[in-house]
Each structure stands twice: as structure tokens, then as C-alpha cells.
Amino acid sequence: MTTIDLPLLPLGKGRDLDAERGVECPGDLPAPSDPDLVARAEAAKAALGERLFVLGHHYQRDEVIQFADVTGDSFKLAREAAARPAAEFIVFCGVHFMAESADILTNDSQKVVLPDLGAGCSMADMARLGQVEDAWDALAEAGVIDQVVPITYMNSSADIKAFCGRNGGAVCTSSNAEVALEWAFAQKDDAKIFFFPDQHLGRNTAVLELGFSLDDCVVWNPHRPNGGLTVEQIRAARMILWQGHCSVHGRFSADVVDELRVAHPGITVMVHPECTHEVVTRADLVGSTEFIIKTIEAAEPGTSWAIGTELNLVKRLADAHPDKNIVFLDRNVCYCSTMNRIDLPHLVWALENLVAGNVVNQITVDVETEKWAKVALQRMLDLPGKTSKD
Ligand code: SF4
């Protein structure tokens, strides 16, 4: 099967009209300078009352997170939405794949709204269904398909989750990746895992948690014939890692870790497992956003921390813990640009439309995709309770 695939959305370039989908808001998008934005958001929330539930991802802007009824990582937020069946509208201040997961886990009468449709995820966009199906066919031709178990990170589109569900695989989060990989290796004799879309989470988990070597891991490049691999490499591999990464966590570098250790003797370096293997192996602690938050909350006053995750979260942690020295693990500003597309004007626009009876930017997952994505999610929920870095 030949796939003509979509490129990553070139935000702001204006060549692909679909790339600016979120800009075209029916009605008026409030001006960012409108001094009444906070009051307008408060009024719209009050008017909607219990019919509304606003979710805010940890990487979201302060101006938006102040209106969240609950904050968390993507999986926690989807579960929170599912636990509020009375809420008619779930406004998801996150990115597209998160809103899809919320739609999958909520009931049919609940409507999930993403305030800006341009809020995608560059990592999720790096694994498209057509590319994954082509790779699956190539693994069959290499004669290894009966050994392969597909595992996808939560940060993937609904159709990739459904692909894993249909093909005996599961979803994992950064908190339970170790347990998910152990489960997958136990599913077949001489199993190989095909891991999407974040090569770093897959590699870091396999090598640092499960004891595989870097040579056990190969990277599947979807833009090269046969993933850029020989049949021998595919047959020898235990982990086949999709060539995807997070554009935020991929920025952190080992030399900044070294610099900060010199500048702040005794500093503890804590990073997210989406960082490169080089950075993760230089860090003192590795874990999910929830792990990072809990660790800082439990830290002694006067301790020093360098944190490698999205800047909005690091800044909020620094503001909330002035008794601790918290620095960012990058020389430059490093926000998630797509997450940050959800700003206060878009939130106000979405809420006021709901008040007026217009459901805008609703995210829906088709029935067949939802069915199989749920299978993959359920396999994750059925995993033993142990989480490596929760
Ligand atoms: S931080 Fe990375 S993985 Fe998370 S939404 Fe942004 S690009 Fe995607």
C-alpha cells in the first residue's frame, strides 16, 4: 500500500489552509487585549454551571489553567472527564489527541470541545495510520509479524491506538511504560515490540527499566524504504522504535545538564522520559509530569532542582515553591507551541458559544476507531498496578 501522507502542520506559514484551522472561528474571536476576558470567561463558566467541565493540561498557559476545574496529564484528565457523566460539555485545554481520548472515554451524550483546532501535537503527528500500516506490511514481509506486539504511547492519535487494539497491542503512559512493555514481551514467544510514536520513551524504558541494550533497539524511519532497516536488523531487534519525538523534550541536552551541575553544585536534575537517552542517563531522576510535581512537593526547603519538562509547568512549580531553587533545563524558552495555541481568547470564544447554544470545535472519534482504541486502553487499565515512576 502506498501512502500519501500529510506533512506536519506548518503553523503560521499560510500555505496549507488546514494548518490554520483554529484561526477561523465562527463569530468573533475576542481580541487578546480585551480587558474583560477574565470576567467574560468567569461569566460564561457561571452560566454553564454543572453542564461544563474544564480540563487543563499541566503544560497549559497560566491564563487558561486558572479556569480549569481539574489539572493533570493527558490520561488523568481523560479519566476525570469520564468520571463526570453529568457534564454535558468537556472543554479540553490540551491538544488534539487528548481531546480524542476524552471523547473515547466519555459517554455518547457528552461533547468534547478543543478551543483551538490548531492545538495538535507534533509527536502524535509523526505517526500517521497509513505509515504505520505500511510498516506493518513490511514487518510481515520480513517474516517477523507473528512476534510483533504494537504498543503506543498515550500521545498518539485515536486511529493509532485503534491499530494497536486491533493487532493485539496496548496503550501506555509515561507512568506505566515499564509494565506495559513487560506485558507485551510476555504475549508472544521471542516477542518484539513495535513502539509508537516516541522513540525516546521506548528506548529509555527498554534499556533503563528492562535491561535491554541499545543494540536491541532499532529505529523505524517511516520516510525510508523498509524503515531504513535491513531484514537482518529487523529480525535481530527486540524493540522497533518509531522515529518520533517530542519537539519540547527533544530540546534538552546533556551539555546543559553538565553546565548546571557546575553552576549549582548539589543540584538534582529531574527529567521526563521523553528526553533523549543521553539526557536521561545524565539525570538523577526520571519520571512523568505527575512524578515531577509530587517530587517537588515533597522536596526539602533549600534544595536545588533542574527540571527538564515543558516550561509552563516548570515556571508554575518555581512560583509555587519559592523556598526551593528551581531552574529550567534549557538555555532558551521552550514552550509547547501547539499546546500554547489555546489561549484565553479561544477559551472565551468556545465558552461563550456554548452559552449561546453553539457547540464549536467538537472532537469526535468514529465508532469503529473508538471500539478498537478502547480495547487498547482497556489492556492498559488491566495491567498490574505497579507503575515505575508514578
Ligand atoms: S509537549 Fe511534546 S508530546 Fe506534549 S503535546 Fe507538546 S509536542 Fe506533544
Q: Which of 363, 319, 372 is nearest to 95 (CA)?
A: 363
Q: Is residue 254 part of a domain?
A: yes
**Mean predicted confidence (pLDDT) in 282-301:** 96
Q: The domain containing residue 287 runs over which residues? A: 249-328
| pLDDT number for residue 267 | 97
Per-residue pLDDT tens over the stretch 127-136: 999 999 999 9
Does 95 fall in a domain?
Answer: yes
Is the pLDDT at 282 greater than 80, yes or no? yes
In this predicted structure, what is the pLDDT of residue 26? 67
Q: What is the mean pLDDT of the chain?
A: 91
Which residue puts its alpha carbon closest to atom 5 of ligand 1? Answer: 121
Looking from the CA of residue 97, the nearest atom of ligand 1 is 5
User: Same structural domain for residues 235 and 254?
Assistant: no
Whether residue 319 is found in the same domain as residue 347: no
Instruction: Look at residue 87 and tell me whether its pLDDT is greater than 50.
Output: yes
Whether residue 346 is annotated as binding a ligand: the answer is no
pLDDT at 189 over 60: yes
**Tens-digit pLDDT profile for residues 60-80:** 999 999 999 999 988 888 888
pLDDT band at 23 (very low <50, low <70, confident <90, very high): low
Q: 100 and 203 share a domain?
A: no
Nearest-atom index, ligand 1, CA of 310: 1
Calculate how far, in angstroms, residue 146's C-alpha sits from the geometric centre of ligand 1.
32
Q: Is 59 annotated as a binding residue?
A: no
Please indicate whether residue 99, judged by its CB atom, sits closer than 6 Å to ligand 1.
no
Between 74 and 271, name the one with better pLDDT: 271
Taking the C-alpha atoms of residue 153 and residue 101, their distance in angstroms, rounded to an integer, is 12
The residue nearest atom 6 of ligand 1, judged by CA position, is 336
What distance in angstroms lies between residue 231's CA and the mean position of ligand 1's atoms?
Answer: 32
End position of a domain, from candidates 231, 246, 261: 246
Residues 289 and 362 in one domain: no
One domain, residues 237 and 144: yes
On whether both 156 and 204 belong to a single domain, the answer is yes
Q: Are residues 112 and 44 in the same domain?
A: yes
Domain assignment present for residue 12? The answer is no
Confirm whether pTM is higher than 0.75: yes
Say yes or no: CB of residue 269 within 6 Å of ligand 1: no
Q: Which residues of 290-313 are buried (b: 16+ CB within 10 A; e: fewer)?
A: bbbbebbeebeeeebbbbbbbbbb
- Residue 9: predicted pLDDT: 46
The band of 173, judged by pLDDT with boundaries at 50, 70 and 90, is: very high
Residue 42, pLDDT above cutoff 50: yes
pLDDT band for 14, please (50, 70, 90 cuts).
very low
| In the predicted structure, residue 11 carries a pLDDT above the cut 70 | no
Indicate whether 13 pLDDT > 50: no
Q: Which numbered atom of ligand 1 lies nearest the CA of 59?
A: 1
Residue 22 pLDDT greater than 90, yes or no: no
Q: Is residue 209 part of a domain?
A: yes
**Number of domains, the chain:** 3
Q: Is residue 74 part of a domain?
A: yes
Q: According to the model, what pLDDT value does residue 127 have?
A: 96
Query: Does the annotation place 274 within a ligand binding site?
Result: yes
Query: Domain ends where: 303, 328, 353?
Result: 328
* More confident site: 74 or 89: 89
pLDDT-derived band at 28 (thresholds 50, 70, 90) equals: confident
Q: Is the pLDDT of residue 2 over 50?
A: no
Question: Which residue out of 59, 155, 292, 310 has the highest number of ligand 1 atoms within 8 Å of its CB and is therefore the one to mutate?
Answer: 155
Say yes or no: CB of residue 246 within 6 Å of ligand 1.
yes
The closest alpha carbon to 350, from 94, 13, 84, belongs to 94
Is 388 close to ligand 1, i.e. is its CB under 6 Å away? Answer: no
Q: Output the pLDDT for position 1.
A: 42
Q: What is the pLDDT of residue 16?
A: 46
**Separation of CA 86 and ligand 1 centre (Å):** 30
What is the residue with the minimal CA distance to atom 8 of ligand 1?
A: 121
* Residue 270 contacts residue 306 (beta carbons within 8 Å): yes
Mean pLDDT is lowest, of 137-151, 186-200, 265-279, 322-336, for: 322-336
Whether residue 281 is contained in a domain is answered as: yes
pLDDT at 75: 82
CA of 110 to the centre of ligand 1 (A): 25
Whether 384 maps to a domain, the answer reads no
From 277, 309, 328, give the residue that closes a domain.
Answer: 328
- 227-266 pLDDT, tens digit per residue, is 999 999 999 999 999 999 999 999 999 999 999 999 999 9
* Per-residue pLDDT, 10: 43
What band does 8 get if pLDDT is binned at 50, 70 and 90?
A: very low
**What is the pLDDT, as a whole number, of residue 204?**
97
- Any ligand 1 atom below 6 A from CB of 311: no
pLDDT of residue 367: 96
Tell whether 4 is covered by a domain: no
Q: 187 and 111: one domain?
A: no
Domain of 29, CATH number, reads 3.40.50.10800
- CA distance linking residue 194 with residue 172, whole number of Å: 13
Clarify whether residues 302 and 356 are in a common domain: no
Confidence (pLDDT) at 76: 87
Q: Which of 123, 172, 173 is the pocket-test mutation for ligand 1 (most atoms within 8 Å of CB)? A: 123
The annotation status of 122 as a binding-site residue, yes or no, is no
Which atom of ligand 1 is nearest to 94's Cα? 5
**23, 93: one domain:** yes
The percent of residues above 90 in pLDDT, for the chain, comes to 84
> Do 211 and 275 lie in a common domain?
no
Considering the domain architecture, whether residues 129 and 241 belong to the same structural domain is answered as: yes
